[in-house]
Amino acid sequence: MLVDSFKSSNREYKANDIRADIGSRFGVSISYNQAWRAKCHTLQMLRGSSEESYQMLPIYLHNIKIHNPGSVTNLITDKENRFLMCYYSLGVVIQSFVQHCRPIIIVDGAYLKAGYLGTNLVAVAMDDNNEILPLAYGIAGGETNESLDWFLGNL
pLDDT at 141 over 90: no
Comparing 25 with 11, the larger pLDDT belongs to 25
Give, as one character, the DSSP assignment of residue 128. T
Are the CB atoms for 93 and 71 separated by under 8 Å?
no
Using DSSP's 3-state secondary structure scheme, residue 83 falls into strand
pLDDT of residue 4: 75
> Mind listing the pLDDT tens digit for each residue in 113-130?
877 788 999 999 998 888
Q: Per residue in 50-104, pLDDT tens?
A: 788 888 999 999 999 999 999 999 999 989 888 889 999 999 999 999 998 888 9
Band of pLDDT at residue 5, cut at 50, 70 and 90: confident
Tell me which residue of 121, 134, 117, 126 sits closest to 87, measured CA to CA. Answer: 121
Mean pLDDT of the chain: 89
Kindly report, residue by residue over 13-56, the tens digit of the pLDDT: 888 988 998 888 889 999 999 999 988 888 888 888 878 888 89
